[in-house]
Structure 1
Amino acid sequence: MSSKEKIEINSQKTTILPVSQEEKWYFIDVNEVENKAPGRIAAEISPYLQGKKEVDWFPNFDREIRVVLVNASKVKFTGKKLNDKHYYRHSGYPGGLKETSAKIMLEKNPIKLMESTVKGMLPPNRLRKRRMNRLFIFPDQKHNLQAQEKDFVKINI
C-alpha cells in the first residue's frame, strides 16, 4: 500500500431510532407475592423501572415506565430482621445520625421502607431520581390511580 491510499476502517456506530414514548404501567400486589421480603420485591421492581424488561432497552435511554406497588404494609421480614435490622439517616448536623428499626419503620411508614429498598437496588446515576419518581407505593389496597387501571399490566413475582 502506498502512502497516498486512504485506509478505510469500518467503524460501526449504534444509533437509537426515535421510539414512541408510550407509558407502560406495571402493577404489583404484595399479597400475591410468594416470598414477601422487601429486598426480593425490590429486586423484581428494579429491572422494570430501568426498562430492562423491554425489547428495545438502552442503558442511556430512559423509558416512560411506571410501577405501582400496593399493600406495602404486608411485607414480611425473615428471621430476626424485624427487630435487628436498622435504617439510618443523617440530618447533616454533627451527632445527627438517626436510627430506626425495621419494625417501627414498617408500622409508621411502610412507603419509606420500600422506597429506600428499591432505591438501593437502582444504579446510583443521574437517572435514579427520575426512575424513583415513577414508582408509586401504597400501604394498602386503596390507590388514587383509577384512571390508569385500564393500562395496568399485572406482574406475578
Structure 2
Amino acid sequence: MSQPNPPRIRSFTVKTYIPKNDEQNWVVVDAAGVPLGRLATLIASRIRGKHRPDFTPNMIQGDFVVVLNAGKVALTGNKLDGKVYTRYTGYQGGLRTETAREALAKHPERVIEHAVFGMLPKGRQGRSMHSRLKVYAGETHPHIAQKPQTLEVK
C-alpha cells in the first residue's frame, strides 16, 4: 500500500490593516467639581485614542482635548495640603516644593497637565501627545473655530 500524500499547505499573504490618521476631533471638558484622577484618566485615554475601535498603540489617533475651569477641579481627602509638587532648579539645595493648594492658586493649568502627562506614554510619542491638551483656568477658550464637542464626565 502506498502512503497517502500529505495535504498541501497553501501560503497566502494577509494584508495588515493600518488605520488612517486623518480624523482629528476636538473635545471640551468642564473640570468644575470633577475629581482630578477621574478627569486625568478620561483625558489621557482620549488623547491616546483608546476610545476608538481601531486603536493602534504605535500611532497617535486621539482627539484634541480642551479643559475648562481648571481652578475648580476637585481634590478628594487631604490632597489639597498633603499632595506636594517638587521641582529642581538646578542649583545646589534647589529643591522647591509646593502643595496642591498653592499650585491651584498660582497656576491651576499645571495641576491638570501634570496629572495627565503622567498617564501618557513616556518617549517620543508621549511628548508629541502633549500638544493635544489645552487647559484653561476660566470658562473661555480660543478654539471655537474647531467646533469642539462637549464631553460629559461621569
TM-score, with length taken from structure 1: 0.83
Judge conservation of contact 1:21–1:64 (CA < 8 Å) in 2.
no
CA RMSD for the aligned pairs? 2.2
Alignment of 1:53 onto 2:51? yes
Judge conservation of contact 1:90–1:98 (CA < 8 Å) in 2.
yes
How many residues are paired up?
146
Question: How much identity, in percent, do the aligned residues show?
Answer: 34
Of residues 115, 118, 122, the one that matches 2:116 is: 118
Alignment of 1:91 onto 2:89? yes
2:98 alignment partner in structure 1: 100
Alignment of 1:67 onto 2:68? no
1:132 alignment partner in structure 2: 130
1:27 alignment partner in structure 2: 28
User: Residue 98 of structure 1 aligns to a residue in which SS?
Assistant: strand
| Counterparts of residues 144-155 of structure 1 (less than 5 Å) | 144-148=142-146, 150=147, 152-155=148-151
> How far did 1:55 drift?
1.7
Q: d(CA) in 2 for partners of 1:13 and 1:97?
A: 55
TM-score, with length taken from structure 2: 0.84
User: Residue 139 of structure 1 aligns to a residue in which SS?
Assistant: coil
User: Residue 47 of structure 2 aligns to a residue in which SS?
Assistant: helix
